[in-house]
Copies of this chain bind each other. A is one copy, B any other.
């Protein structure tokens, strides 16, 4: 029985929608998804996708559910905010570094002219 069918205390059918993405050895993965979305929503979300996209969708759904279990207010939106802050910081450092390069460049230019004049 896959982790989902174990959790739901049911027989795991041969065409189980969950079995390929929720192996029995990782019960926490399904428990999070079940707590946040419920098994029928997750089953529907997977069912609505072509088979070749279901594994990636299951992974993304699990990431979102785990984030929301850990952080019931912001879920993975907190990570988006933190990453946006981090980009903002990196970009302002880049603006400063480029300004420094411009100053150093023109300073080197002046010195070069000075050397030529001598």
Report copies per complex: 2
Residue of A38, A61, A84 with most chain B CB atoms under a 10 A cut-off: A61
CA distance A104 to B104 in the complex (A): 6
Q: Is the interface on chain A under 10, 10 to 19, 20 to 34, or 35 or more residues?
A: 35 or more
- Chain B hits for A97, CB < 8 A: 94, 97-98, 101
With A104-B104, A111-B115 as contacts: A76 and B64 at CB distance below 8 Å: yes
Q: A48-B72, A64-B75, A111-B115 are known; give 16 further A-B pairs, CB within 8 A.
A: A37-B37, A38-B38, A38-B41, A49-B73, A60-B73, A60-B78, A64-B64, A64-B76, A83-B87, A93-B94, A97-B101, A100-B101, A101-B101, A104-B105, A114-B115, A115-B118
